[in-house]
Amino acid sequence: NKRAAINKDKPSSTHISLSPEHKYFTEVNQIVSHHLNQINDNLEENWTCIAEDGELKVYKKELEEDGIVIDPLKAIHVVKGITGHEVCKYFWDIEYRMEWEATLDSSEVIEWLSDDTFVSHNVIKRVWPASQRDALFWSHIQHIAGDQDEDPDRWIVVNYSTEHDECPSTKYVRVFMNVGMVCETLIKPPADGCQISRDDITCKIIYTAEVNPGGWAPASVLRAVYKREYPKFLKRFTSYVKTKTSNLDILL
Ligand code: 6CM
């Protein structure tokens, strides 16, 4: 049963988050910092734009390791009517993952580490002629409150490859990935006495993916898949969030 698998040992409290004693605490914080430090990268300098559609821009850097393509990918998108909290909620919460994911055959929780972090196993759709891949990663969601004069308020989700005794790599080629979704919400101050509406909010999304396909895959096919699939994912996922939230109260 899908729901039972999703809620497997899910912590009942909604307040506890990963404690400093937890074995993943240092790693999670390091990887979150890694993504936050990249926010202001100069994309004009070292990156090549591979797709542009309205406010969406997708960039890559060509990189190979032992003949395997590991091109880092970065996308910037600006979407009206949704908040960073909402974008991150739907990206992180595995309950919704298969509603918007077009690249996965399945996704299931392996372990809840705290109420903001869990490990999941994901089977990626097979791309001919390569072998089928899977990915095992922890997903962490965090709110980073802005300070008045410098950083804006941010929400972040990180999906980072890990290992787990209950899920050894046997059946598929395992992909290694470090994916970050950082969001900032811009609010246009409403007229005096008026409530904020969805017309007043805009979300800036900075998405980065460092993926190692974990074994040989034809470079030209992989690059063609990335060029097609990442823009498709960003458009499909953000319109999913818009549809899901259009009749709901704004989640700031
Ligand atoms: O970030 C995305 N989805 C997340 C939630 O599911 C998660 C991603 C997991 C899977 C990422 C797979 C990347 C592609 C792997 C390539 C496989 C190689 C096949 C060989 C081809 C010749 O972080 C959205 C991911 C959108 C991917 C386009």
Is the pLDDT at 16 greater than 70? The verdict is no
124 Cβ closer than 6 Å to some ligand 1 atom: yes
74 Cβ closer than 6 Å to some ligand 1 atom: no
Given the CA of residue 133, which atom of ligand 1 is nearest to it? 17
Between 151 and 27, residue with greater pLDDT: 27
Three-class SS state of 57 = strand
User: Ligand 1 centre from 251 Cα, in Å?
Assistant: 27
User: Ligand 1 centre from 215 Cα, in Å?
Assistant: 15
Is the pLDDT at 1 greater than 80? The verdict is no
Is residue 198 domain-resident? Answer: yes
Contact of 118 with 137, CB cutoff 8 Å: no
51 Cβ closer than 6 Å to some ligand 1 atom: no
Please tell me the predicted confidence (pLDDT) of residue 11: 54
Residue nearest to atom 24 of ligand 1 (CA): 233
Write the pLDDT tens digit of every residue in 69-107.
Answer: 999 999 999 999 999 999 999 999 999 999 999 999 999
The tokens of 132 are what?
A: 């089928």
Residue nearest to atom 21 of ligand 1 (CA): 222
The tokens of 217 are what?
A: 């895959």
Is residue 251 domain-resident? Answer: no
Write the pLDDT tens digit of every residue in 165-193.
Answer: 999 999 999 999 999 999 999 999 888 88
The overall average pLDDT reported for the chain is 92
Is residue 43 domain-resident? Answer: yes
C-alpha distances (whole Å) from 92 to each of 85, 104, 219 are 10, 15, 29
Is residue 36 domain-resident? Answer: yes
Please tell me the predicted confidence (pLDDT) of residue 226: 97
C-alpha distances (whole Å) from 125 to each of 10, 132, 223 are 27, 7, 16
CB atoms within 10 A of CB 146: 12
Is the pLDDT at 3 greater than 70? The verdict is no
Write the pLDDT tens digit of every residue in 203-230.
Answer: 999 999 999 999 989 999 999 999 999 9
* Domain CATH number, residue 239: 3.30.530.20
91 Cβ closer than 6 Å to some ligand 1 atom: no
Is the pLDDT at 40 greater than 50? The verdict is yes
Is residue 27 domain-resident? Answer: yes
* Mutation to probe ligand 1, out of 31, 124, 221 (largest number of atoms < 8 A from CB): 124
Mean pLDDT, rounded, for 58-78? 96
Domains: count for the chain: 1
Residue nearest to atom 3 of ligand 1 (CA): 101
Q: Which residues form the domain of 166?
A: 2-245
User: Ligand 1 centre from 21 Cα, in Å?
Assistant: 31
Please tell me the predicted confidence (pLDDT) of residue 14: 38
Please tell me the predicted confidence (pLDDT) of residue 9: 59
Give percent of the chain with pLDDT exceeding 70. 93
73 Cβ closer than 6 Å to some ligand 1 atom: no
- Name residue 55's amino acid: E
Is residue 250 domain-resident? Answer: no
Is the N-terminal amide bond of 168 cis, ω within 30° of 0? no
The tokens of 117 are what?
A: 């972090």
Is residue 252 domain-resident? Answer: no
* Mutation to probe ligand 1, out of 6, 87, 103 (largest number of atoms < 8 A from CB): 103
